[in-house]
Amino acid sequence: MTTETRQPTAPLDSGFRRNDVAAPLDSRVRGNDVASARNDDMSGGNDVASARNDVASSGNGESPVAGDAILSVRGLETQFFTDEGVVRAVDGVDFDVLPGTTMGIVGESGCGKSITAKSILQIVEAPGRITNGEINYNPSGDAGSATDLLSLGANSDAMRSIRGGEISMIFQEPMTSFSGLHTFGNQIDETLRLHTNLSKQERFDLGVDWLARVGIPNPTQRMHEYPFRFSGGQLQRAMIAMAMCTNPRVLIADEPTTALDVTTQAQILDLLQRMQEENDMAILFITHDLGVISEIADDVTVMYLGKVVETGPVFSFFDEPKHPYSKALLTSIPSMFTSSRERLPSISGSIPHPQNRPMGCAFHPRCQSFMAGTCDVGEPELQSVNEEQEVSCFLYEGQ
């Protein structure tokens, strides 16, 4: 079995995004000051790169064409059937992820971001169930060759080969994502054994290499230790190592830098971007941190109460947000120029309980642009407002 050589796709307008968009959001130390502190040792695993997963890349043909989505989600609906009623956690979500690019998904807690990610891999816990939609995975980029992941059984051999191999996920809660009964080495070895043809020693060496790349000291020793011996930040980095060791084509990162200090966060983001360029990897990046989104994402999807309310390129999102919720998110970011003792802006109210959804637009009870008789009566549809942005809001109807 031979390893396929992929041609990396450069991130779209990366210079503009990093310099022009991120600058106003530098309320925390990131960018140039942190970039200079990034650890060069994290790039030392290049010699081992040739031994990485050839199973994930075999049989998929040529690298995807830049204009074709490697992952396309259409009309995705995931519901939880509880004794109190049906909870529509994901309610008709649409988005595309292109090869070699990063799609950022943002929104407050409870918007359905993590359930969307779990739905892609069909790992939604009971009583949750995917009730509608399509998740088309097209690693070859050829027209008509996409596979609807929902047509594959959650426990089928085909889905199990894709899950963790071609599509990996960095989970939001690393402290509950590892088995406490097995060493970390056992767990990363199982991942590599299922998705590669490497020998036992090669799998061990690759695990050590990845622990070193994500900044865990004494990686050889840590391979023999149980997860309870790792700190929260080390578990987060170990989770990142396990997700990326199979050389996935699509990486779903659910708040991967939440438990990390700002210097380690910058190192991990740098590692993700290098892996993306080397392997033409697509990333679905879920986070609350808009500063991280401005630095790493190419496109942004904003979710609210299970629905997509705005989507478009990252520079359009920061320069000219359309939906009132998007504007409120950006306004609530602390600024370096905020005066002393000045009250920070916030979004009034809170996200409604999914079982008590308001009539009409779900955001209208908190919206500063609320139109009585319109916003509280019907639900707006996602529509194009220009060549790049789509928004779900009555303010743009007829445009």
Superfamily grouping for domain 14-304: P-loop containing nucleotide triphosphate hydrolases (3.40.50.300)
Q: Residue with structure tokens 């637009």?
A: 361
Higher pLDDT, 56 or 209: 209
Hey, where are the domains in the chain? 14-304
Higher pLDDT, 136 or 265: 136
Instruction: Output the CA torsion sign for 196, 197, 201, 206.
Output: negative
Q: Which two tokens stand for residue 88?
A: 């529509």
Cα–Cα distance between 264 and 286 in angstroms, integer?
A: 18
Residue 398's pLDDT band (cuts 50, 70, 90):
low
Q: Which two tokens stand for residue 114?
A: 């993590």
pLDDT > 90 in the chain, percent: 44
Residue 313's pLDDT band (cuts 50, 70, 90):
very high
| C-beta of residue 274 within 8 angstroms of C-beta of residue 212 | no
Least confident of 102-116, 164-178, 296-310: 164-178
Cα–Cα distance between 231 and 288 in angstroms, integer?
A: 22
Whether 63 has a pLDDT exceeding 70, the answer reads: no
Query: For the purposes of burial, counting CB atoms within 10 Å of the CB of 351, is it exposed (0-12), middle (13-18) or buried (19 or more)?
Result: middle
Tell me the average pLDDT across 296-316: 94
Q: How far is C-alpha 202 from the chain's CA centre?
A: 29
Q: Which two tokens stand for residue 344?
A: 């920070």
Which residues are bridge partners to 86 per DSSP?
81
Per-residue pLDDT tens digits for 119-133: 999 999 999 999 999
Measured between its terminal Cα atoms, the distance across the chain in Å is 54
- If one counts every other C-beta atom within 10 angstroms of the C-beta of residue 180, the result is 9
Tell me the average pLDDT across 214-226: 92
Cα–Cα distance between 254 and 113 in angstroms, integer?
A: 8
Tell me the average pLDDT across 331-355: 79
The two beta strands, 307-313 and 390-391, are antiparallel
Query: Of the candidates 116, 151, 164, which has an alpha carbon nearest to the alpha carbon of residue 285?
Result: 116
